[in-house]
Chain A
Amino acid sequence: MPPDFSAVRDQFPALHQTVHGKPLVYLDNAATTHKPRAVIDALVRYYERDNSNVHRGLHALSMRSTDSYEAARARAAAFINAADPAEIIFTRGTTEGINLVAQSWGPTHLKAGDVILATEMEHHSNLVPWQRLAARTGATLRLVPVAGADAEHGLDLAALDRLLTPQVKLFAFTHISNTLGTINPAADLCARARAVGALTVVDAAQSSGHEPLDVQVLGCDFLSFSGHKMAGPTGIGVLYGRRALLDALDPWQTGGGMVANVTYADATWKPSPERFEAGTPNIADAVALHAAMDFLDGLGRPALAAHDHALAATARAALAEIPGLRVLGPKAGSPRAGLVSFALQDAHAHDVVTFADQDGIALRGGHHCNQPLMRKLGLPSTVRASFYVYNTEADITALVTSLRRIQKFFAG
């Protein structure tokens, strides 16, 4: 039995509305989740009571803001079991964290002949920065293939071992595929990379709000995630980096707050994390992210993962009954996340999403920022339903009813 979170729904104000006259069924959580009252309150409380700049002022409000901001950093360290809060850099989100590594680490550590390794299932945000870095440094970008007709077998680990040569300096991969729902064996992948001396960058955008995360168990060098996909606000995210690596890196943006000493001619840098946070940071959203992490740990992240996985498994089974519907992603028995991606034979994803919207159901349709993978799967686009703590089996029933009607409309 999946854990009972039925009371949690009441804590999310945005869920209690109608769309086109129907109760909202929100199944676009892999794009962004809704925010509980505790997170919204933390944001409002910060602006109503503490609002001030950090690390500069000596007055009471500035000290409160600084304390709240640094408490959020310590909370983020605890959330992923980082050894030291200085290993937590606040960013705008997953994308910015990956770009920070590419721009800060890349040019000083890569040369022609080196290899950057990524995978065929990466979101554009964990692919395009590496394409650009390769072009800039003369390094080569190689990709670990996904295996199986529907990519159901996940990453091709035999190919990975062939690709992991001593020329590989960095291996960037997603923890959970936003398109397929595949959960990659992240700790194993990091260990294989470490064996050839490659650093690892883990895209945790789809895992941070759903699965327990422990960077020391994963053994990764960098890990990036977004607040808004884990019940937190938009505009805030976390880049974790191992302390020894961060202190040896150049800054990627410069300005106030990150400098130790400045003359008219030159400047020196503070250590991490300040070195990577030039300018006034996103204090309010960091404080609200703190509340989101408390909220998720209050629910219990193993229970949350079990809940989302169970709903996705129920959805997969129910969708498979619909004529002409192809479910993508790993088959039963393989590690799968709380989302399901599918295609209807007679209806394009956009038509499906428009129809479902009229039934109050929020889905995602398109290439999911994963164009090369969609080409490989031979599909222009898919429909995705992704689940979170407030979703219920009744939401799946509504989805299936709507999809059957859509299938009939376009096939008829």
Chain B
Amino acid sequence: MEWVNAVVQGTLLGGLYALFAAGLSLIFGVMRLVNIAHGDLIVLAAYLGLSATTLLGLHPLAALLVVVPAMAIMGYVLQRAILNQTLGKDILPPLLVTFGLSVIIQNTLLEAYSADPQKMNAGALETASFSAGGLSLGVLPVMTFVIAVGVIAGLQWTFYRTALGRAFRATSDNQEIAQLMGLNRRHIFGLAMALALAVTAIAGIMLGIRTSFDPSIGGGRLIFGFEAVIIGGLGNLWGTLVGGVILGVAQTIGAKIDPGWQLLAGHLVFLIILAVRPNGLFPRIGE
């Protein structure tokens, strides 16, 4: 039963990792941009959530109503003002610029909030649990997982059922020809980054309710996000959810064997999958 519990808890943890990964996956899918600052943007969203709860007295979940649009606007401006200038045939400039952005965000957070770990206070939600089939499940992890599934389903629907998604896919396929269709790729990329950072905002808030955070933890969240994306297969959103779950389960099972093995077990599973299936478990066909 303990092992079943580890798998279930790991699956729920995987929901959080899928939230970390979804924005990363979306940005890479639309504009082939690898965003090194993604983890720091998650942490930034957590801090914005913290400020919203302390300054406005909001519940962390209500803070989503402020932080999600704020991050979306920031994403659009960031893309139009900076990241669009780095996109081209050479893949190095976006890597360098987002790396620099990562450093800037970390240091700005240090200045603004200090290096002390912080946590959002979600009251009773943090400890609420219910039992199902002999297992005790936390309401918050279950809620995070459900949100993750909802976010992925929403992104999937946007991508394949809306004009915006059609524009994303067309621009990703061929930027010049998309331009001929009257689509301004700079604007489309701005919208993609806005959507990605809206998802990142959700990830940051759920992270900030679940655990304490400080300005330096962005790198670790980036790695988890990357691993989930790669395990699931690039460009496949449902694969990203599965990747997050595999990573989460590997970590909780590792921790069950020995608490020191939690992170290592996750990385090992990632390495094994990378060695056996370099394109991930569910790569999009034809890529």
Asked if A pairs with B, the answer is: no
User: Which A residues lie at the B interface, using CB under 8 A?
Assistant: none
